[in-house]
Amino acid sequence: MKIIAKIYCILMLQLLCVLFFSGKRIHALSYDYSATTECLAEPWRPHYGGGLIVNPEFDDGIEGWTVFGQGAIREGTSHNGNKYIIAHSRTQSLDSFSQKVQLEKGKFYSFSGWVQISEGSETVFVVFKTSDGKMIHGGKVIAKHGCWSLLKGGLLPNFTSVVEIFLKSKNTKVEIWADNISLQSFTKKQWRSHQEKSIDKVRKHKVKFQLNYANKTSLDTAIVSIKQTDSNIPFGCGMNQKILSSTDYQNWFVSRFKFTTFTNAMKWYSTEEKQGQENYTIADAMVKFSKQNGISIRGHNILWDDPKYQPEWVKTLAPKELRKAAEKRIKSVVSRYSGQLIAWDVVNENLHFRFFEDKLGENASAEFYNKAYQLDPKTAMFMNEYNTTECAIDEAPNAINYKKKLEEIRSFPGNADMLLGIGVQGRFGGDKPPDVAYMRSSLDILASTRLPIWYTEVCVGNGTNQAQYLEEVLREAYSHPAVEGIITFAGPESAGFKEMPLVDNDFKNTPAGDVVDKLLAEWKCKNLQLETTSGSGGSFEVSLPHGDYNVTVKHPGSNSTTSINFKVTKHLPLGIVNVEVGT
């Protein structure tokens, strides 16, 4: 009996539209970040009905709210009759309205509220004051007069205590208006459940199989085996030059990862230690190795805004010579690897530092992005920052400031069509649990740009709970629908990765390495074997992670099999695989 197999995949060409602007209630754990881009005439209703907040919509005036600091508070009413609260007569940045709530150690807290100010445009923070007087920042927004902006934030307290929630603005001349304030708590179990549901939705898709004979009648009973031949997990690892001389390092890396960032090999101080003496030998060899093994490379980095990490000879250049040297550097490295990389970190950490801006003017970064874009127009040009999602206390790289810098780059002449990307490093300390509630709220804000987001240098500091904290970070990043890729800055201890080695000197897994391997296995598809039964019509449906697959169909009573290949991708999420079997 001869079996001829044909595959016909009927796939949707566009993703199904999501109705972001429902005009109804929005929910923080649903990743509904559309409103973070909007400044609305009327605020949306509070998440979760306000959660722990009393009188969140101010339907009962300002009942439940008290003055924080000096100043005063009063009720406001819009022309449509919507009520809100106003902090006025402010003399200190902390003068506001407040409410006390009980927080519990180990729970996640998601904050949101709609904010407006009486004039101009100002940054407004949400602050949690603990019983011992500590002030914990939980998020911020750039509020404007004449419309309502959504302030999103989060908190993972390491204490159980009553806190006061209030808003803060450094400009005491403005009144702070707020409406529809919410603080919702979640247990770890609830948070984890949502992560898993999101992964099922974002990283997998349902595929319907239809088994037919050549005459189009259904094949009711068959044994079906589905095997993933290549996963499409956007998960990678940093790589350094030690891989060129270590077979063990090479084998370990290639068996796990399809994405990388060179930790140092492409940086300016590595390729031009002395002015005019360029050497790309190591970088070239690492690119060659990566390409031979199907590993995609993020270009890191073209320039670095931190004065500390300039080549020594660059630090003393006068502005005119510095501009020439920077432009020469951009042309040299970008032209060399144009079309071979999936991304460029163009001006690294340009929210924390201002080396080029201080010497060359406020548009220095935007100009450099433009030059790189002209040389490699099909490759995404990324910003790359630390502490944007890691902690709220570091104001410089906050998601709001990140968006503002992106807009400055995009608005520079010639940059409008540039493919920009968001790089958040993910460098978490090992001394306390990662604040994944704040992490999520920051990602939501960044996601409102509709630009690709990558975790570019994930590393958790040394500590007793390093592996546990790493798993929490990776799960949160992977479950967020806007995160398109994750790179850990880690590797073998023998290659110099001391802070978070994944394998020891004998290439045996560390606890952190166990976490990575566990998650890679969990996020792949295990081999499936199913048996269709009489009455099924030869039809069944399974949810499969993105990747390449082989399906084998064995007809009962025959030793012959039909085997076909197919793909599941995020761009073509829903489809039918028809397996046609003839004799």
The three-state secondary structure class of 465 is coil
What CATH number is associated with residue 41?
2.60.120.260
Predicted local confidence at residue 13, as pLDDT = 27
Inside any domain, residue 197: no
Which tokens belong to 293?
């093994």
Q: Which of 501, 523, 545 is the C-terminal boundary of a domain? A: 523
Same domain, 353 and 318: yes
Instruction: State the residue for tokens 């598809």.
Output: 525
Query: Is residue 86 classed exposed, middle or buried when 0-12, 13-18 and 19+ CB atoms within 10 A define those classes?
Result: middle
Same domain, 289 and 410: yes
Mean pLDDT for 110-115 is: 97
For residue 239, the surrounding DSSP H or E stretch is strand 235-239
Same domain, 225 and 239: no
Instruction: State the residue for tokens 């012959």.
Output: 560
On whether the CB atoms of residues 264 and 270 are closer than 8 A, the answer is yes
Same domain, 143 and 106: yes
Same domain, 98 and 222: no
Same domain, 413 and 500: yes
Q: Which of 59-63, 80-84, 574-578 has the lowest mean pLDDT?
A: 574-578
Structure confidence at residue 28 as a pLDDT band (50, 70, 90): very low
Predicted local confidence at residue 35, as pLDDT = 55
Q: Which of 191, 216, 244 is the C-terminal boundary of a domain? A: 191
Structure confidence at residue 71 as a pLDDT band (50, 70, 90): very high
Q: What is the 3-state secondary structure (H, E, C) of 487-544?
A: EECCEEHHHCCCCCEEECCCCCECHHHHHHHHHHHHHCCCCEEEEECCCCCCEEEEEE
Structure confidence at residue 9 as a pLDDT band (50, 70, 90): very low
Share of the chain above pLDDT 70, in %: 92
Pairing state between β 148-155 and 561-568: unpaired
Distance CA 225, CA 528 (A): 6
Same domain, 11 and 42: no
Structure confidence at residue 31 as a pLDDT band (50, 70, 90): low
Residue 462 has pLDDT above 50, yes or no: yes
Cβ neighbours of 53 (radius 10 Å): 23
Instruction: Express each pLDDT in 470-516 by its tens digit.
Output: 999 999 999 999 999 999 999 999 999 999 999 999 999 999 999 99
Structure confidence at residue 216 as a pLDDT band (50, 70, 90): confident
Same domain, 223 and 238: no
What CATH number is associated with residue 480?
3.20.20.80
Note the maximum CA span of the chain. Answer: 89
Structure confidence at residue 18 as a pLDDT band (50, 70, 90): very low
Kindly list the distances between the CA atom of residue 143 and the CA atoms of 123, 125, 187, 395, 411, in Å, as whole numbers in the listed order.
6, 10, 31, 16, 21
Inside any domain, residue 26: no
Residue 174 has pLDDT above 50, yes or no: yes
Share of the chain above pLDDT 90, in %: 84
Mean pLDDT for 17-24 is: 30
Same domain, 219 and 247: no
Predicted local confidence at residue 12, as pLDDT = 28
Predicted local confidence at residue 27, as pLDDT = 41
What CATH number is associated with residue 564?
2.60.40.10
- List b or e across 6-16, with b for residues whose CB sees 16 or more CB atoms inside 10 angstroms: eeeeebeeeee
Inside any domain, residue 560: yes
Residue 60 has pLDDT above 80, yes or no: yes
Mean pLDDT for 253-261 is: 97
Indicate which residues carry an active-site annotation.
349, 457
User: 1 or 94, which is more confident?
Assistant: 94
Give residue 67's domain range: 33-191
Q: How many domains does the chain have?
A: 3
Inside any domain, residue 39: yes
Same domain, 379 and 363: yes
Beta strand residue intervals within 78-234, DSSP E: 83-88, 96-103, 108-117, 121-129, 135-144, 148-155, 161-168, 176-186, 204-213, 222-231
Q: Which of 7-11, 136-140, 304-308, 341-345 has the lowest mean pLDDT?
A: 7-11
Residue 539 has pLDDT above 50, yes or no: yes
Inside any domain, residue 389: yes
On whether the CB atoms of residues 224 and 531 are closer than 8 A, the answer is yes
Same domain, 136 and 43: yes
Predicted local confidence at residue 583, as pLDDT = 56
Same domain, 222 and 321: no
Residue 209 has pLDDT above 50, yes or no: yes
* Amino acid occupying residue 328: K
Q: Which of 523, 538, 568 is the C-terminal boundary of a domain? A: 523
Inside any domain, residue 257: yes
Inside any domain, residue 25: no
Inside any domain, residue 27: no
Structure confidence at residue 570 as a pLDDT band (50, 70, 90): confident
Mean pLDDT for 555-559 is: 72
Per-chain mean pLDDT for the chain: 91
**Contacts of residue 7, Cβ cutoff 8 Å, sequence gap at least 6:** 564, 565, 566, 577, 578, 579, 580
The three-state secondary structure class of 144 is strand
- List b or e across 278-291, with b for residues whose CB sees 16 or more CB atoms inside 10 angstroms: bebebbeebbebbe
Distance CA 437, CA 579 (A): 45
Predicted local confidence at residue 32, as pLDDT = 57
